[in-house]
Amino acid sequence: MDRKLPVKWAELSSQERVMSFDEVSLGYTEEQVLKEAARCLQCEDPQCSKGCPVGIDIKSFIYHVTQREYNKAYNIIRARNDFPSICGRVCPSEYQCRKSCILTKKNSPFADEKAINIHLIERFVGDYGRKNKIPKNIKVTEKYKNKKVAVIGSGPAGLCAAGELASSGVKVVIFEALHKPGGVLVYGIPPFRLPRDVLAHEIKTLQALGVEIKTDIVAGRAVLLDEFFADGFDAVFLGLGAGIPGFLGVPGENLANIYSANEFLTRVNLMSAHKFPEYRTPINVGRHVVIVGGGNTAMDAARTAVRIQKSKGYEINVKIVYRRTEKELPARRFEIGHAYEEGIIFKFLTLPAEFEGLDGRVSKIKCLECRLGEPDESGRMRPEKIPGSEFIMPCDTAVIAVGLGANKVLTSVTPSIKTDRWGDIIIDPNTMATSVKNVFAGGDIVGGEGTVIEAMGMAKRAAVSILRSFDDK
């Protein structure tokens, strides 16, 4: 074995995976995880923990893995991260902990291929804890037993806040607008990346801690913010997420069979539209699918479309249109690799200019070629249209995955909650407190679309502040 390179893990072959929604990455076996953990240099001043948004003691948990002390490793991770089986699967670790691993070259934009596969070691340990039902350390404080907190939204932020508070003895009720809890973990990220039994286990664990989950309740419509306090809640946590899709604003975007990525993924992930008519929600996926965007959402939509095309007996023909180059693609590097392997074609430096239709349905997309110009406010090179470079591609299904904005249903009827110009809730970054007393917020509703572990990190900070506010009384 070349100790300089990470241990390879098993994956379904690209032929196997496009035939189903089964999980693609199979993670490490015990033998593999021991070899990968043994590659860790156990640095004196480890940088990897600084790259993790919740500061997991990575060096220690990896050490315990090398000693086969999986219980200890699990408890070290759980001290900072309640959902290791989830983060081990979906964390963009190449931009987080692995980017800070000493084996990654300095100033690299993302983790070097030599970096320790921290996420996969974490996934192994998380799955071990899940399968062996290792309980969470709970420190119920008598003082909190009479306290009640309403958590609005059941994405990673809401679930994490609920877990933290319930572990201290607080009575927590989660209110979720959709019919299933999980937020993006259930309606956005497909099961071939995050199997539903992993999420179901975490939700059951929360319920076992006493957390009550009420679905199909839209806060701001069914219940107003003041009503939670009138109903006896002592504090409210807002984990509303960024579920409002962005669009291109080009002619023809209203034609039939053009979906926002959120609608496309929700139809499949939450309503099983790919199994229509067995399930009642339909989805139209034709022979020429174009996905616009370059983030995780675009990769998930493209890979979902591939599976639906395959199930219909079509040739795989899914193109991702992105206005910058491969280097700037914001999606996880693993998912980009999987997209290539599954036959998805990338059209870089390409910008859609117009959709054309036939009988009200999209049939073509007119695009322009771009080149990269000066950096924009995000520091990335700004794509510039090349005049006269128009070209047409056939397109009978399009999915727009160009960013998500704040869910404003609650904030739009609660002006006392201060928001910024994008509709994100303004908070005190130290306490996650909003402009309204005893109301806290975290996750994508604060600062826009981020990552699962960042949302959980914010929720943890908010939970600490909520408990502290009880201490102050």
58 binds, among ligand FAD, ligand SF4, none (CB under 5 to 8 A by kind): ligand SF4
Window contacting ligand FAD (CB under 6 A); options: 216-224, 248-256, 278-286, 365-373: 216-224
239 binds, among ligand FAD, ligand SF4, none (CB under 5 to 8 A by kind): ligand FAD
Q: Shortest approach of ligand FAD to residue 340 CB, angstroms?
A: 17
Question: 231: Cβ–Cβ under 8 A, 6 or more apart, which residues?
Answer: 150
97 binds, among ligand SF4, ligand FAD, none (CB under 5 to 8 A by kind): ligand SF4
CB 404 within 8 A of CB 262: yes
Strands (E), 295-349: 318-321, 345-347
Question: What is the C-alpha separation between 44 and 46, in angstroms, rounded?
Answer: 6
H or E element, residue 371: strand 361-375
- State which of residues 7, 18, 37, 52 lies at the interface with ligand SF4 (CB under 6 A): 52
Q: Shortest approach of ligand FAD to residue 410 CB, angstroms?
A: 4
- State which of residues 23, 36, 82, 122 lies at the interface with ligand SF4 (CB under 6 A): 122
- Pick 258 or 336: Cβ nearer ligand FAD: 336
- State which of residues 62, 65, 118, 349 lies at the interface with ligand SF4 (CB under 6 A): 118
Q: Does 452 bind ligand FAD (CB under 6 A)?
A: yes
Longest CA–CA span in the chain (Å) reads 71
Question: What is the C-alpha separation between 438 and 445, in angstroms, rounded?
Answer: 17
DSSP string, 208-267: HTT-EEE-S--BTTTB-HHHHHHTT-SEEEE-----EEP----TTTTSBTEEEHHHHHHH
Map the footprint of ligand SF4 across residues 54-83, applying CB under 6 A: 56, 58, 81
CB 220 within 8 A of CB 413: yes
Count of Cβ atoms closer than 10 Å to residue 273 Cβ = 21
- State which of residues 178, 302, 441, 467 lies at the interface with ligand FAD (CB under 6 A): 178
Number of residues in contact with ligand SF4, rule: CB under 6 A?
A: 13
Window contacting ligand SF4 (CB under 6 A); options: 93-101, 194-202, 211-219, 320-328: 93-101
Structure tokens at 179: 């019919």
- Angle between the N-to-C axes of helices 156-167 and 196-208, in degrees from 0 to 180, rounded to the nearest 10: 30
Structure tokens at 150: 């309403």
CB 355 within 8 A of CB 259: no
Structure tokens at 401: 């995955």
Q: Does 84 bind ligand FAD (CB under 6 A)?
A: no
Q: Does 206 bind ligand FAD (CB under 6 A)?
A: no
- Pick 25 or 75: Cβ nearer ligand FAD: 25
154 binds, among ligand FAD, ligand SF4, none (CB under 5 to 8 A by kind): ligand FAD
Which residues in this chain contact ligand FAD in the complex, by CB under 6 A? 90-92, 152-158, 175-178, 183-184, 188-189, 218-220, 239-241, 243, 265, 296-297, 300, 332, 407, 409-410, 443-445, 449-452, 455
Which residues in this chain contact ligand SF4 in the complex, by CB under 6 A? 52, 56, 58, 81, 87, 91, 93, 96-97, 118-119, 122, 453
